[in-house]
């Protein structure tokens, strides 16, 4: 199957700083990418949907100014957590799909804000 790579796998940052997470489709062109968040011992919740070249669509309750999503190319989407705080510590997972094809998940990024 297709490969979606997330980087970094884990990151620790200081409170108040920003951190960028990358999601790459390695062997296909991803027209759509989804970003999910998983709180400890909970399920994955969709944060936003991004289509290449368009602004991301955020789910209700997700702060678009805090979680900046960029999908500038068909193989890369980035999620930037701005002015991170400890409550932003979570597991972030992306999925990517080409037009009219199934979606594939990245391995996830564990963010710890100290």
Partner 1 sequence: AQSVTQPDIHITVSEGASLELRCNYSYGATPYLFWYVQSPGQGLQLLLKYFSGDTLVQGIKGFEAEFKRSQSSFNLRKPSVHWSDAAEYFCAVGAYTGNQFYFGTGTSLTVIP
Binding residues for partner 1, rule: CB under 8 A, are 1, 6, 9, 31-32, 34, 36, 42-46, 49, 93, 95, 97-103, 105-108, 110
What DSSP assignment string belongs to 59-95? Answer: PTT--TTTEEEEEEETTEEEEEE-S--GGG-EEEEEE
Cβ-based nearer residue to partner 1, 5 or 82: 5
Cβ-based nearer residue to partner 1, 66 or 108: 108
Q: How many CB atoms lie within 10 A of CB 60?
A: 4
At its nearest, how many Å lie between partner 1 and the CB of residue 76? 17
At its nearest, how many Å lie between partner 1 and the CB of residue 16? 25
For CA atoms 90, 57, 84, 110, give the dihedral sign: positive
């Amino acid at each position: 199957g297709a490969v979606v790579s997330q980087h970094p796998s884990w990151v620790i940052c200081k409170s108040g700083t920003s951190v960028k997470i990358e999601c790459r489709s390695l062997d296909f062109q991803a027209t759509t990418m989804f970003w999910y968040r998983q709180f400890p011992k909970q399920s994955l919740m969709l944060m936003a949907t991004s289509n290449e070249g368009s602004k991301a669509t955020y789910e209700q309750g997700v702060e678009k100014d805090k979680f900046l999503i960029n999908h500038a190319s068909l193989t890369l989407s980035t999620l930037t957590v701005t002015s991170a705080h400890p409550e932003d510590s979570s597991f972030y997972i992306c999925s990517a799909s080409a037009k009219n094809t199934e979606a594939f998940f990245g391995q996830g990024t564990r963010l710890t804000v100290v």
